[in-house]
């Protein structure tokens, strides 16, 4: 898939931020519009995130896939800044900002976190996610300080993402529970529907 004609892959470039914001919103809106409670992305929010997180974003960890020039998939991973923040007691005053830059240069971050992945419906089950991982794997060989990647959230209602992380050797190590209380006890309880169960 990574080498099929018509498919191209590129990582984020700050020189073309607006293009990638447009592509991000297009992919997200296409991939998530069938989900319950879907809301289209606000481009200003993405713009603000890139601006405020620029010091920790590694452009080579944010990927886009295209077919015949049309954006079809995205992948966002960032270094785990918590490995530095715990050394600063969670505070970013002037002194700690200097310490932050020092620790960043010393490459003490050894873990990355995948924040989001998305594929437009037409290209799901095509192997496009594996192609992105193939490209990312080549780049990470030049970043030996990173030894671990965490998929920050894989809901039990999303069998596609669970199958994906298992296929690349991922291991389930932590479970978060969302508790819900029905104030109207006469209402039936309905769990979050399994994505793709209707297919």
Distance, CA of 100 to CA of 103 (rounded, Å): 5
> In the prediction, which pLDDT does 198 show?
56
Residue-wise pLDDT for 68-83, tens only, equals 999 999 999 999 988 8
Three-state helix/strand/coil letters over the chain: CCCCCCEEEEECCHHHHHHHHHHHHHHHHHHHCCCCCCCCCCHHHHHHHHHHHCCCCCHHHEEEEEECCEEEEEEEEEECCHHHHCCCCCCCCHHHHHHHHHHHHCCCCCEEEEEEEEECHHHCCCCHHHHHHHHHHHHHCCCCCCCEEEECCCCCCCHHHHHHHHHCCCCCCCCCCCCCCCCCCCCCCCCCCCCCCCC
Q: Please give the tally of structural domains in the chain.
A: 1
Residue 107 falls within a domain, yes or no? no
Average pLDDT along the chain, 199 residues, taken 10 residues at a time: 88 94 95 81 90 89 95 94 86 84 88 91 88 89 90 78 79 84 87 68
> In the prediction, which pLDDT does 52 show?
87
State how far Cα 35 lies from the chain centre. Answer: 17
> In the prediction, which pLDDT does 73 show?
96
- Indicate the pTM of the whole model: 0.81
Q: Which two tokens stand for residue 48?
A: 């603000």
Residue 46 falls within a domain, yes or no? yes
**Radius of gyration of the CA atoms of the chain, in A:** 19
* CATH at residue 120: 3.40.630.30
Residue 125 falls within a domain, yes or no? yes
> In the prediction, which pLDDT does 144 show?
92
Distance, CA of 8 to CA of 70 (rounded, Å): 10
Cα atoms in the Cβ-side hemisphere of radius 13 Å centred on 77 = 21
> In the prediction, which pLDDT does 27 show?
96
Residues 146, 111: contact at Cβ < 8 Å?
A: yes
Residue 120 falls within a domain, yes or no? yes
> In the prediction, which pLDDT does 189 show?
85
Residue 25 falls within a domain, yes or no? yes
Write out the residue range of the structural domain in which residue 36 sits.
7-76+115-167
């Amino acid at each position: 898939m990574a080498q099929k004609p018509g498919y191209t892959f590129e990582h984020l470039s700050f020189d073309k931020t607006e293009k990638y914001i447009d592509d991000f919103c297009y992919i997200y809106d296409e991939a998530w519009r069938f989900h319950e409670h879907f809301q289209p992305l606000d481009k200003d929010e993405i713009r603000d995130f890139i601006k405020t997180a620029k010091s920790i974003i590694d452009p080579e960890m944010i990927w886009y896939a295209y077919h015949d020039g049309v954006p079809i998939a995205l992948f966002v991973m960032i270094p785990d800044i918590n490995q530095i923040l715990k050394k600063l007691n969670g505070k970013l005053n002037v002194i700690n900002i200097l310490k932050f830059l020092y620790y960043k240069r010393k490459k003490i971050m050894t873990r990355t976190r995948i924040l989001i992945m998305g594929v437009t419906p037409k290209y799901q089950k095509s192997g496009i996610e594996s192609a992105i991982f193939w490209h990312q794997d080549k780049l990470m060989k030049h970043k030996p300080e990173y030894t671990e990647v965490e998929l920050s959230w894989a809901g039990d209602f999303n069998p596609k993402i669970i199958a994906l992380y298992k296929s690349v050797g991922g291991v389930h190590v932590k479970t978060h529970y969302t508790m819900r209380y029905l104030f109207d006890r006469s209402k039936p309880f309905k769990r979050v529907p399994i994505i793709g169960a209707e297919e």
